[in-house]
Structure 1
């Protein structure tokens, strides 16, 4: 079955961000996310999951262990388990990107409250 943001599970995260589960299995997660201008996710790490962030449109700043990397469309960044990280939209436009996780991050996210 073809999947896209109109026929998959949608969820809200943070104050105003969106996510769509394109693939949702225990071994693999592919999520398309949309972060409005000026939004920031909570800094966290994963015990098991390796993640790959891939920008579709806009610019995404990824902070990983204190190092900031700006990603433009069609650029990506891999994040190994146990690495503190945070996605940030520091621009005045929306950013759309894919988050690919292996295995899934369900129950694998650790953050300081």
Structure 2
């Protein structure tokens, strides 16, 4: 229970790199809930994919991004978010000239629940 009252922050133990230059930090990593802080530099993107079970919410902290969701591009700026229901193909990308920092909240976790398109 003591961990419930301990602040969580980004740090080396929580860090992972993905997609050649993108960064993620696991802030909450449980079977029923995942919260990840991520950074994508200009030109960065993830592979188009879908999740069978996980519902995700992307929230932009700083910068801008675009999420392709089932064939439609949705532009997001700081202070905006987008919910991605299970089963819909999507791709996060940063086509802009500035870094983007954002949160990805997934319920349940996406571990083992991803299919690349």
TM-score after normalising by structure 2: 0.93
Count of aligned positions: 112
Q: Which has the higher helix share?
A: 2
Partner residue in 2 for 1:62: 67
Partner residue in 1 for 2:3: none
Partners of 2:65 and 2:109 in 1: how far apart?
Answer: 22
Partners of 2:17 and 2:37 in 1: how far apart?
Answer: 12
Deviation at 1:4, TM superposition (A): 1.3
Q: SS where residue 95 of structure 2 aligns?
A: coil
Q: Which has the larger radius of gyration?
A: 2
Partner residue in 2 for 1:71: 76
**Any runs of at least 4 consecutive aligned residues in structure 1 with deviations exceeding 3 A, and if so which?**
none
Unmatched 5+ residue regions in structure 1? none
Partners of 2:45 and 2:23 in 1: how far apart?
Answer: 12
Unmatched 5+ residue regions in structure 2? 1-5
